[in-house]
A and B are shown apart, each in its own frame.
Chain A
Amino acid sequence: EIVLTQSPGTLSLSPGERATLSCRASQTVFSSYLAWYQQKPGQAPRLLIYSTSTRATGIPDRFSGSGSGTDFTLTISRLEPEDFAVYYCQQYSSSPLFTFGPGTRVDIK
């Protein structure tokens, strides 16, 4: 069973700064089947990135994903006020079918 760990738990940054979020898997995520989601309070999650590095429709290019194997990263190049939210990584490569990480909260410093 693949377990995902995200770090840090909370990231306190100012608008305009760069955010780097980490997602580590307990086993290799095959075919780079890793996604990232953003969730704001009271809202459903929104798909940002799939297949490790492909931006979903309508996602601005300040969001980028990278990584392979067991280590993956979501980078927000310059934080906008609307980017302060919780971010989850998800693998969809092996049993259990879909696993989410515990999330990283990006707070305004």
Chain B
Amino acid sequence: EVQLLESGGGLVQSGESLRLSCAASGFTSMNYVMSWVRQAPGKGLEWVSSIHIGGGITYDADSVRGRFTISRDNSKNMLFLQMNNLRADDTAVYYCVKGRSDWLDAFDIWGHGTTVTVSS
């Protein structure tokens, strides 16, 4: 079964850091663009970051650029999101998502999400 399992969420203070992890199973994640999408409480979906198949090319939303870093370990089928200098408006459920292909494409597999709460 194709599955994504996020971990690493929690409660932190404003200005602190957190590292999210996502374990992929049932497919070879290195063949796909992988991304993080977040959803603030009661709000809509917001794309956060994406990483190309080789890991050498990354893309970030303006709201997180310079603070968040996406990375991947293809040997372990893992995706990561290093979040630094967290702010209250980063509070959200963070979803690990798989793109349909090795380029920009729709997100066909979603994890269940991990909750990040930033207190000010």
Which positions in A face B, CB cutoff 8 Å?
33, 35, 37, 39, 44-47, 50-51, 56-57, 88, 90, 92-93, 96-103
**How far is B107's CA from A50's CA once the two chains are assembled, in angstroms?**
9
Contact across chains for B62 and A96 when beta carbons are under 8 A apart: yes
Instruction: Give B79-120 interface residues, CB cut-off 8 Å to A.
Output: 95, 100, 104-108, 110-113
Contact of A100 among B35, B46, B62, B105 (CB under 8 A): B46
* B50 is an interface residue with CB less than 8 A from chain A: yes
Contact across chains for A50 and B61 when beta carbons are under 8 A apart: no
Known: A44-B110, A98-B35. A50 touches B46 (CB 8 A): no
Contact of A98 among B44, B47, B95, B112 (CB under 8 A): B47
Which residues of chain B come closer than 8 Å to A100, judged between CB atoms?
44-47
Which residues of chain B come closer than 8 Å to A45, judged between CB atoms?
45, 95, 107, 110
* Interface residues of B, count at CB 8 A: 21
What are the 5 closest A-B residue pairs judged by CB atoms, nearest first?
A50-B106, A35-B106, A98-B47, A44-B110, A100-B45
18 additional contacts, CB 8 Å, given A98-B50, A103-B44?
Answer: A33-B105, A35-B106, A46-B110, A50-B108, A56-B108, A57-B108, A88-B44, A90-B45, A90-B106, A90-B107, A92-B104, A96-B61, A97-B104, A98-B35, A98-B47, A98-B104, A101-B44, A102-B44
* B59 is an interface residue with CB less than 8 A from chain A: yes
Contact across chains for A88 and B110 when beta carbons are under 8 A apart: no
**How far is B108's CA from A92's CA once the two chains are assembled, in angstroms?**
13
B100 to A: closest C-beta gap in Å: 6
Which residues of chain A come closer than 8 Å to B95, judged between CB atoms?
44-45
**How far is B63's CA from A73's CA once the two chains are assembled, in angstroms?**
29
B19 to A: closest C-beta gap in Å: 21
Contact across chains for B104 and A33 when beta carbons are under 8 A apart: yes
A-B contact pairs, 13 of them (CB 8 A): A39-B45, A44-B113, A45-B107, A47-B106, A47-B107, A50-B105, A50-B106, A50-B108, A93-B104, A97-B50, A99-B47, A100-B46, A103-B44
